[in-house]
Amino acid sequence: MATIAIPVADDFEDSELTVPMERLKAHGHEPVLIGSAAGARVRGKRGRAEVTTDMEARGLQPGDFDALLIPGGYSPDHLRTDAATVEFVRRFCQSDRPVAAICHGPQLLIEADAVEGRTLTSWPSVRRDLENAGARWVDRPVVEDGNLITSRKPDDLDAFTAALLARLS
């Protein structure tokens, strides 16, 4: 069983959090919601999901988790200003463990200086940000480059989640 850190804040894309979490749990894995504070209630941007963070990002060690999952929506943009979350993501990316980010999720990877020289995909509006940060952007449902797994949108959730589950098996 793998333990997956999931940084989340208000306005996450509902399905990009709930679908991977349900599938991870169904395969015996343990998703752990992290944020700027433990016990914070955060809501999806569509109002279909509300969750409570399990742990505060400050002080977390990448070695305590087997993978990192970053859902999209506006949550990654909110988390970009949380220094503890950004530092955890930066150190996690350097650990060479799987990092999966969908839609706007790569915004948090940009802030963590984890995209230069890498090939990724994202929601189209994040393309220029990725390119300006030194990444190569491609328009495919799933892109895997080293430990990074990225996808574009909710329509890609099946392929995205399958790629993450394959890395965890």
**Which helix (H) or strand (E) segment is 16 a member of?**
helix 14-26
- The pTM score is 0.96
Query: Which residues are annotated as catalytic?
Result: 103
CATH number for domain 3-168, candidates 3.30.930.10, 3.30.70.980, 3.40.50.970, 3.40.50.880: 3.40.50.880
Report the candidate in 123, 135, 167 with the shortest Cα–Cα distance to residue 24: 167
Q: Residues 39-89: pLDDT tens digits?
A: 999 999 998 999 999 999 999 999 999 999 999 999 999 999 999 999 999
Q: For Cα atoms 26, 61, 166, give the angle at the middle one, nearest 5 degrees.
A: 35
Q: pLDDT at position 113, please? A: 97
Distance, in Å, from the CA atom of 169 to the CA atom of 165, rounded to the nearest integer, reads 6
